[in-house]
Structure 1
Amino acid sequence: MIDGRWYQADRSVRSLEPVDGPTFPLYGSGGSLTDEDLATNLLAAQLWQESRSRQASAGVDYIWPDNVLYEPALPGIQLSDDEFVPVDHEVLRRARRRALVEYMLGERSGGFYVSQPVIAEAVATLVGDRVGGTVLDPFCGTGSFLWAVVDRAKQLDVPVEFVGYDVDQKVAEAAAAIGRQEPLLTTIEHANAYDVELPRARVVVTAPPLGLRLQAPHVLLNGNSTTDGEAAAVDLCLRALEPGGRAVFHLGTGFTFKQALDRYRQYLADEVRVAVLVGLPSGAFPGTTMRSILLVIDRAEPGETFLAQLGEDWEAQIDVEGAALLAAREHLDGGGPTIVGHA
């Protein structure tokens, strides 16, 4: 703040832009910060600063500065021992989510635990009108998919419970800290989803670990065994899915062509509705050059599949108003024919 006016600096702190800040009095109940971008930047800066101060001595890729993620007695951001910025509660809730994603994307191994916002929003949109009951993410990371569906459930005003698991204890704790501030009941547990009995769910949204090979074979629904982590994850999710429910996956493209999975893919085509398959170029998975797919499966009678292979404009295509996403959404719940999409 300079001369009573709030400014936001760029990353290099070489330029300042005026922004809306708290109205006076600055401390106390007189006003709250309502600029979500500024709140996000303040929180992300705290995450990086506190992590860096402890990272070198610990010798690990990232450290969770837990106090940044937890809700203080009053909604706001503690900049220092004697400096507290009040923040609108809803703004602070959204800013915590965004700051955590920014922080993790900036860490060497952090990208494995978050999804890009455009992917999370696309997944929530593909859930469509199936939101309700239990929404499950067995490989939730920091919860990107769950939070996007939370926002959709709020818009639809339906009763929903959210459940997530992650094998990394610190990641699960961070997601749980965010979840406690969400407006709908959310439970995040530290657990290996391959080893626990998953709850029945109306909706499953998830991005399983890439390239994982299981130590012990998993028996698929068609009776075949596999050590392919993504195939086993899809299978576990479908076992947990209620009749009439919907699962939305972000997977590596290998799931669509690995010869060892031919019989399982045929089983899925014969037994459930493989409703949408959208191919994405490299860049959709943070920190990798791997191509990927968005896959939607309904626990319903087999039917036609919406197909699309997207190119360099994939982010625009799967934006909430993007042509590919709108077409996929129409096919899912509008009963449209099979479509070969944008190349």
Structure 2
Amino acid sequence: MKGYVVLADGRCFVGKGFGYEGISDGEVVFNTSLTGYQEILTDPSYADQIITMTYPMIGNVGTNAEDMEADTVFAKGFIVKEYVETPSNFRAEESLGAFLTRWKIPGVSGIDTRALVRHIRTRGAMPGVIATGEHDIEALRQRAAAAAVMVGKDLVQAVTCQQPYQWKEGIWEIGRGYKKPTTTGDIRLAVYDFGVKRNMLRLLVEYGFDVTVFPATTPAQTILDGKFDALFLSNGPGDPAAVTYAHQAVAALAGKLPLFGICLGHQITCTALGGSTFKLKFGHRGGNQPVKDLKTGKVEITAQNHGFAVDATTLPEGVKVSHINLNDQTVEGIEHEAMSLFTVQYHPEASAGPRDSEYLFARFVDVIRESQRSA
């Protein structure tokens, strides 16, 4: 089965198809992680994106039910240099190809992924088409050229939950699976679901939170009426500037509850406080992004997945940039001490990435306790 990757500017790559036989369009991006491809594919932040893995051999650990970050696959396609058909891992339940077939996601292997990534880095992430089976290349070029860009897209409403729910599951332990806490935490936490990953919720439970998850469109007053101790803003897909209902809700809640935001939650918080965001040329996606804590000077190796960033020059008085990306100096975190809030652009919960940043969950607990003592 043939496989095609065609970009909006006309660049075409022909390889071998695997997974689902079909066609899909989305923004073509790349991820530098060495492993964790199942967590990447099921991360809601990858909605409407076709993912290229820079690591050359993908598929060797297979897939399993436990490593899903959501109920479904959100990526539109998957591109690898070499696809490993037969996994070799004691936790594997299904091959990557069978997994993609089941979720109707086309995959392409055997192309020069280095050339594709260099093209994206030079020209920028852009819309494209991934197709498997027999297709006319000129027709694919026309479809790719007509594909929608990411700027202006509100994808949050396509991935958020429809009703509030409580989350009880804790972190995974080898030989035992996911923890089932016998008691709930003593900090009542409201979580805005902009595309939340399951491991975020598990770590919140692990650090002593009683977690209730709310749809992204939940009014601020609903959160206030719930008498929660704190607020958590999750990751999510699309253009942060387009999620205007979330800006309004967070603007109404900031300063009334201790707040911690991650990724899209970070961008929404900054926008709600008066800042703005912009589209990065090719984004930050992978498990090896260096971030510097400006207060301590410590450098963390972080897992990231985003295509937009906060414009530091637009942040209002009282908001301090707390972390920067050492590759391009973009904003990786902010804090506002008077409002008891802080946010980070990276993913401290990433189970497939480094764990340098997991301490941020403990920091959130400390911020809440200090706020309670000061009340």
TM-score, normalised by the number of residues in structure 2: 0.31
The structure richer in strand per residue is 2
The structure richer in helix per residue is 1
- Higher RCO, Cα 8 Å, sep 6+: 2
TM-score, normalised by the number of residues in structure 1: 0.33
